[in-house]
Amino acid sequence: MFRLLPTEHKFFTLFESQAATVLEAARAMGDLARHFERVEEKAQQIKELESRGDQITHDVISKLNRTFITPFDREDIHALASALDDVLDNIEGVSSRFALFKIDRLTPETIELIGIIERACVAISEAVGHLRELKRIQPYCVEINKLENDADHISRNMTAKLFEDAGDFRELIKWKELYGRLEATTDDCEDVANILEGIVVKNN
């Protein structure tokens, strides 16, 4: 289709930066889980990444408001930026609660879920890197959906186990909040995949 005005392609670069920041935060959370020490310091580093991500999200929205011709639908640009921001917000939320709740050690299931989130964010970063060539995105979306299903299975089992084994009500509340945040993060990753699939369908 012939365009009288050029399409603004800087959105691709902004999304790549946003996805890279999400992945960096996921990897930092993975390192925190595997080496559970200096928790407050590591949580602060993830907070700084979340602040960087907020700025990129702001830049995307600001550019959207100033751009006439966009590479794909305006609502999809807004939705993708918001969904990536949600993933990063929840990664920071989990990490900060490890410090805030003074968690002594992580359960094996928590470490496994964080590993799933890290792998989902790798797939997100790869998928976003292919926004210029949409036909290559679909396999990454399938992988993210599979990981979310795996996370749901683990989350259901560990929540049931939490209520069975709970002896201290305060500990129950802490871990229920953490498990909920972890599950929300995997749900947010799936939201990103669904938005990307929608972009592919609309633009093929």
The fold of the 10-203 domain, in CATH, is Methane Monooxygenase Hydroxylase; Chain G, domain 1 (1.20.58)
pLDDT at position 78 is 97
Closest among 154, 142, 140 to 112, alpha carbons compared = 154
Q: What is the pTM of this model?
A: 0.92
Name the residue with higher pLDDT: 158 or 151.
Answer: 151
Percent with pLDDT over 70 in the chain: 95
Instruction: Write out pLDDT tens, residues 20-76.
Output: 999 999 999 999 999 999 999 999 999 999 999 999 999 999 999 998 889 989 999
